[in-house]
Amino acid sequence: SVGFKQDVPQEQNVFLEDPVMVSVLERYLPEKVLNEISPDLIQISDWANTEGAVLTARMEEDQPRLRQYDSWCRRVDELLVTEAWKKQKEIAAREGVVAIAYERKYGEYSRIYQMAKLMLWTSGSGLYSCPIAMTDGCARVLELNGTQEMKDRVYTRLISRDPKKFITSGQWMTERPGGSDVGRTETQAVWDASRNCWSISGFKWFSSATDADVTMLLARTHDPNPSAAPGSMRDGSKGLSLYLANVRDEEGKLNGVRIHRLKDKVGTKALPTAELELDGMIAQQVGDNYRGVKNISAILNITRVYCGMGCTAAMQRFILGVKEYARRREVFGALLKDQPLHLATVANMELQYRATSQFTFYCIAMLGRIESLDNNLPQVKDQDIPLLRLLTPILKVWSAKNAFAMSQEAMECFGGQGYMEETGLGRAMRDVLVNTIWEGTTNVLSLDVLRVMAETGGDALNLYAETIRGILSPLKDQSQWSKSVKSLEDCLGLISHHFTTYATLETRNLLEASA
């Protein structure tokens, strides 16, 4: 057709095009490590734009389906996922997206390397980042609390780079009476002496990775003591234990699971999220009896950092896309990039992205140091544990709200085209939105922050104040700072101020470097 044709925004190698990411990595990684991992970060960014983009499009077009009955009306509950989804599993193994964190080749820096790679991989992963997050969390639980048998049989495969060995894990917590309030769990675990295992029955209301090989799940434990009255259980969350189960047996038959139905979701369409009925699922207990919530919290604390990483990755794509379009779209006689008001909008988005990426990697660096504690490396700081415990729920909440707000700004920056499905912004907006809900909603995580404050008698907050002393001049006097924090809003406001200050300092450094 004749007439105007818009100069098309081009895909970019995100790692090479984003000075913010490089600068954040420079802050946390020794030069030698950054030099060594950079080629891998460049190649994964290229992959996300090429094979990753093709696979993601296929996964979106051909969404998971459930074939519940065969032609003879026998219940089969066959979950049908695309070849593209299966291929993602293979790629995840080969690229070591879980393995890097556990091989610990770079000691405390391994987590930073892994999360940087995940950030660049995630846009091409078509939501496979979700099972990867849960797999990583499961690996951490088994590393901390698994028996040697669980480590040999399961853990080694969760962290394998061999696609033939690599397995993924689910995380089944949410039930119909309560997702936030898991103390209302109805699912029960009964000791089966004849099979020397636990037998689990109940109903799990959300299972994101229904094609996972194994799963971690919570269930209310029947008192295994032979002298206990049959069926005796404890109420609330103090009656729950953590279990590990194979989802299918070696022939692919479901292990006491019926797939009730697949969820019809607002976004994350490529992800096979299902409702599951459990009837005699064979499982092993992980960690102590009745410590289920505490034991599964190691997964929550990993997957919540993944949410931070995933939101940062989405924001990175939004800002790079918006800037690329602003270089090509002309309005009222000037490119968008030269229109002051548009520039102000983009600058604000850029600051949000920078602050979020600073915050995310600040937490990831701590996670890496804590995990290297297992190897007794000397550089671990004791303060990291309470600090990360305090900051993880805040990161999750803050990044999720920021990323969704930014998805709206990004859409608007593309004008009417932004609202078209073909630009992918609608999908990105729907997908990023879920981060406000899964792995804990905003208010539930706000209460988690208060839980940490109560449990540590304010020590975690004081540690934080100490850590940022000197960065924020008005807050130099720690005692004053602690006094000024009277509410959760104050706490969030100050943390936001801290990372926005980091982002501003970083902007100054970048400007000086480019001058």
The contact set with ligand FAD (CB under 6 A) reads 171-174, 178-181, 206-208, 265, 268, 273, 434, 437-438, 440-441, 443-444, 447
Residue 100's binding partner out of ligand FAD, ligand MFK, none, with CB under 5 to 8 Å set by partner kind: none
Measure the CA–CA gap between 34 and 481, rounded to whole angstroms. 35
Number of Cβ atoms within 10 Å of the Cβ of 26: 13
Contact with ligand MFK (CB under 6 A) among 101, 173, 219, 281: 173
As measured in angstroms, the least distance from the Cβ of 444 to ligand MFK is: 5
Nearest to ligand FAD of 491, 503 (CB atom): 491
Cβ-proximal residues to 28 (8 Å cutoff; 6+ apart), any chain: 109, 112, 361, 364, 365
Helices 459-468 and 488-514 cross at an angle (nearest 10°) of 20
| DSSP 8-state symbol, 183 | G
As measured in angstroms, the least distance from the Cβ of 476 to ligand MFK is: 31
Hey, is 359 helix, strand or coil?
helix
As measured in angstroms, the least distance from the Cβ of 83 to ligand MFK is: 23
Facing residues of 281 across strands?
A: 200
Stretch in the footprint of ligand MFK (CB under 6 A) among 32-40, 303-311, 369-377, 469-477 = 303-311
Binding to ligand MFK by CB under 6 A, coded x per residue (else -) over 126-155, reads ---xx--x----------------------
Contact with ligand MFK (CB under 6 A) among 114, 199, 303, 462: 303
As measured in angstroms, the least distance from the Cβ of 361 to ligand FAD is: 25
Measure the CA–CA gap between 133 and 304, rounded to whole angstroms. 9
Contact with ligand MFK (CB under 6 A) among 48, 307, 319, 485: 307
Measure the CA–CA gap between 122 and 244, rounded to whole angstroms. 27
Contact with ligand MFK (CB under 6 A) among 278, 300, 365, 388: 300
CB burial of residue 347 (10 Å; 0-12, 13-18, 19+): exposed
Nearest C-alpha neighbor of 337 from the set 193, 345, 109, 506: 345
Residue 178's binding partner out of ligand MFK, ligand FAD, none, with CB under 5 to 8 Å set by partner kind: ligand FAD
As measured in angstroms, the least distance from the Cβ of 271 to ligand MFK is: 8
| Footprint on residues 255-294 left by ligand MFK (CB under 6 A) | 293-294
**Which secondary-structure segment (H or E) carries 268?**
none
Nearest to ligand MFK of 20, 119 (CB atom): 119
Nearest to ligand MFK of 154, 293 (CB atom): 293
Contact with ligand MFK (CB under 6 A) among 32, 86, 451, 508: 451
As measured in angstroms, the least distance from the Cβ of 177 to ligand FAD is: 8
34 contacts ligand MFK (rule: CB under 6 A): no
| Footprint on residues 235-254 left by ligand MFK (CB under 6 A) | 237
Q: State the amino acid at position 340 in one-letter form.
A: P
Facing residues of 245 across strands?
A: 215
Phi/psi for 88 (5° steps) reads -60, -35
Residue 372's binding partner out of ligand FAD, ligand MFK, none, with CB under 5 to 8 Å set by partner kind: none
> Quick one: tokens of 76?
């089969």
As measured in angstroms, the least distance from the Cβ of 173 to ligand MFK is: 4
Number of Cβ atoms within 10 Å of the Cβ of 8: 9
Measure the CA–CA gap between 301 and 216, rounded to whole angstroms. 14
Contact with ligand MFK (CB under 6 A) among 448, 449, 461, 475: 448
Residue least distant from ligand MFK (Cβ)? 237
Residue 268's binding partner out of ligand FAD, ligand MFK, none, with CB under 5 to 8 Å set by partner kind: ligand FAD
- Strand 169-172, strand 214-221: pairing: parallel
- Strand 334-335, strand 240-246: pairing: unpaired
Residue 307's binding partner out of ligand MFK, ligand FAD, none, with CB under 5 to 8 Å set by partner kind: ligand MFK
As measured in angstroms, the least distance from the Cβ of 337 to ligand MFK is: 31
Hey, is 200 helix, strand or coil?
strand
Helices 31-49 and 51-61 cross at an angle (nearest 10°) of 50
> Quick one: tokens of 102?
């556990």
C-alpha of 161 from chain center: 20
Nearest to ligand MFK of 268, 339 (CB atom): 268
Nearest C-alpha neighbor of 20 from the set 302, 301, 318, 306: 318
Measure the CA–CA gap between 41 and 13, rounded to whole angstroms. 10
Binding interface with ligand MFK (CB under 6 A): 129-130, 133, 171, 173-174, 179-180, 182-183, 208, 237, 293-294, 297, 300-301, 303, 306-307, 310, 438-440, 444, 448, 451, 455
